[in-house]
Structure 1
Amino acid sequence: MTPHPLEPRPTRSGSRAAHKGQQTRASILDAALNLASQKGLEGLSIGLLAETTGMSKSGVFAHFGSREELQISVIREYHARFEEEVFYPSLREPRGLPRLEAMYRRWLKRVSVEIDSGCIYISGAVEFDDRPGPVRDALADMVRTWHTGLVRSITMAREEGHLQADTDARQMLFELHGLVLALHHDARFLRTPGAVQRAEQGFLNVLDRYRAAPSG
């Protein structure tokens, strides 16, 4: 397609500048994600991020525009990494219980790694549970997206005959989520030894209650 004669043609220098801008934004976002994991989303500020990255406040501001936009960008980046590490690899497992088990265990592994730094899904819920606005909406949307994937996986396991026919997918999700919240609380706040193993055993207990009886 021939460019319109009045439209500026892209230049190599322009492309390089755009690429460099994307790289800079990605670096800032990576630093912001690390800060949010340690200090929470409310601990993020343009000034602190500028200090951490060695940039000027105006330089950071140019990439995000506001503290609120920065927080939302961090939530989206966290969710994208969560999907890459937990959700998408689990989809390679067979439909049904193998996929559900993979999703839960990868979720458990990620939370276990985040015990020292903190889970943005969980810490963010504490920070924004009673604070309506775009940041809370973005965080809730990401969590609901993950929950939707889990419910779909539970439903598939029921349809495959791996779980009892009357399995309530939402109820099972509630119980699995409860195990992860308990793990985060006991391991991060109480420093209870063996919390990860208890979360794994809890999952096995839930499966025993919902698992379909062997045919024949």
Structure 2
Amino acid sequence: MNDVAASAERRTRADGDRTKRLILDAAVRLATVEGLDGLSIGTLAHATQLSKSGVYAHFDSKAALQLATIDSARALFIDVVVAPVLEFVGLDRLRALCESFLTYVENRTLPGGCFFAAAAAELGGRPGPLRERVAANQKDWVGLLTAAANEAVARNEVRSDTDVATLVFELNALVIAANTAFILHDDPTVLTQARTAIERVIFAATPV
């Protein structure tokens, strides 16, 4: 009897985990269009075809839902943008990170483009745990670019006198600008322009 009860409990827990993932997947997508403030039990119930009580059971507050949504978006970003390029090193990784970001946008992984670009625009002037969580993820992304650039310097793939912070700033600015223009104008040529500009910036930092 105890085995039966334990098995039933495991099934219930697994069903609950699947439902929570379904809700958070929908929340990440909606937040890129409606903003984190636009998330509600009602909109998520409609998007997932669950009851409001079914959605509410997984999150005891809107703040908890928003924080969980940010964490889910981070997991997606790592899975889609970061993980596929970890096999590369140095300059190849730096270039691949930029390309992976642009592909993430180009493939319309999320309807409103990069989740964190949208969230940063929404929360930039509003102190609090949501902005802190988004800012931490942005720092992690910049940290990945910086580590790859520093490795490229160490491998003599980038000039030793390169201002790495400025190089990373320029590359990040280009992919964010491409995301914004692509979403705003639905124009794939901006991604081609971004790729050309990225190569120009990288070429300028490489040894002659």
Same fold (TM over 0.5): yes
- Counterparts of 1:195 and 1:149 in 2: how far apart (Å)? 24
Q: 2:179 aligns with which of 165, 180, 184?
A: 184
Residues 91 and 71 of structure 1, relative CA distance in 2, 3 Å threshold: same
1:46 and 2:41 matched? yes
1:77 and 2:68 matched? no
Using structure 1 for the length normalisation, give the TM-score: 0.88
Residues 192 and 27 of structure 1, relative CA distance in 2, 3 Å threshold: closer
Task: Render the CA deviation track for 1:74-119: whole Å, top value 9, x for unaligned.
Answer: 11111111111111111112x2111111111111111223485322
- Counterparts of 2:50 and 2:102 in 1: how far apart (Å)? 36
1:96 and 2:90 matched? yes
Deviation at 1:193, TM superposition (A): 5.8
| 2:196 aligned partner, one-letter code | Q
1:37 and 2:50 matched? no
1:11 and 2:6 matched? yes
Q: Secondary structure at the match of 1:55?
A: coil
More helix by share: 2
> Which residue of structure 2 aligns with residue 118 of structure 1?
113
Gaps in structure 1 of 5+ consecutive residues: 1-7
Contact 2:40 2:62 in 1 (8 A): yes
> Which residue of structure 2 aligns with residue 204 of structure 1?
199
Task: Render the CA deviation track for 1:181-200: whole Å, top value 9, x for unaligned.
Answer: 22123222245562111100
Q: Which piece of structure 1 moves more, 67-76 or 150-159?
A: 67-76
Whose Rg is larger?
Answer: 1
Using structure 2 for the length normalisation, give the TM-score: 0.91
State the number of aligned residues: 205
Contact 1:78 1:120 in 2 (8 A): yes
Contact 1:40 1:120 in 2 (8 A): no
Runs of 4+ deviating beyond 3 Å: 190-193
Gaps in structure 2 of 5+ consecutive residues: none
Residues 18 and 190 of structure 1, relative CA distance in 2, 3 Å threshold: closer
Percent of aligned pairs sharing the same letter: 34
- Counterparts of 2:84 and 2:176 in 1: how far apart (Å)? 22
1:65 and 2:60 matched? yes
- Counterparts of 2:169 and 2:56 in 1: how far apart (Å)? 39
Task: Render the CA deviation track for 1:149-177: whole Å, top value 9, x for unaligned.
Answer: 11101100110000000222211111011
CA RMSD, 1 decimal: 1.9
- Counterparts of 1:87 and 1:184 in 2: how far apart (Å)? 17
Q: 2:168 aligns with which of 173, 189, 199?
A: 173
> Which residue of structure 2 aligns with residue 108 of structure 1?
102
- Counterparts of 2:112 and 2:135 in 1: how far apart (Å)? 21
